[in-house]
Homo-oligomer: A and B are copies of this chain.
Amino acid sequence: MRIAELSRRSGVPVPTIKYYLREGLLPAGELTSRNQARYGEDHVRRLRLVRAMVEVGGLSIAAVREVLGALDDPEGSMHKALGTVEAAVTPEFPVQSREDEVAREQAAEFVARQGYDCPPESPTFQALVGVLAIAREMGHVRFADQLDNYARVCGPLAEQDMDYVLGAGAREEVLEGVVVGTVLGDTTLAIVRRMARHTTSLDRMG
């Protein structure tokens, strides 16, 4: 297909496609003349993935390049590519880690208790330390007690997420599902949580 059809199929404007080609996020098409190239289904899939990362995930071009590197590495496992995507999305958490020994211990004990694979140097662990440190600074010492409640609901959600993305087929589609599921999923969970809470609040304090 020509670039105009690639644009229609992927929902990405032609100038943006040209930008991605220049940045190496999309492999060049097959040249059919000096100024025209032909693109295939691989390009459509790749573009959808890039679009998901940039538009939904808010990833920088550099971060997208890193994820694509993990994806295209013939030695790389799907789990590793998934880890790269999640690491790229994780700095989005609006908290920084803080110097707080108690918060660090609370996070470490929680991770050990749940058997999570989450080393202390990972961005996810650091983000948790940051949240717990802020809660403590604000005097909410009981906040850490809620972690196990969250874990109880996140286990089944993780299994559902996995079923959802593994149902997608090709590697690129699975990864795209992870990006969309992670970013849209977090927002959706926050929205539904608010709807449920508003309704519960009305029942109990209305």
Contact = CB atoms under 8 A, between A and B. Distances in A.
Contacts of A124: 191, 194-195, 198
A19 interface: no
Contacts of A142: 164
Given A138-B180, A150-B188, A180-B135, A196 B90 contact: no
B193 A138 contact: no
Interface residues of A, number: 78
Contacts of A116: 195-196, 198-199
A149 B162 CA distance: 13
Interface string A140-173: 1011001101110111111111101010000000
B79 A201 contact: yes
Contacts of A186: 186, 189-190, 193
B199 A158 contact: yes
A153 B111 CA distance: 21
A79 B134 contact: no
A57 B83 CA distance: 29
15 contacts: A11-B137, A79-B206, A95-B187, A117-B202, A127-B191, A128-B191, A128-B195, A131-B184, A143-B181, A147-B192, A150-B157, A153-B153, A158-B196, A158-B200, A166-B204
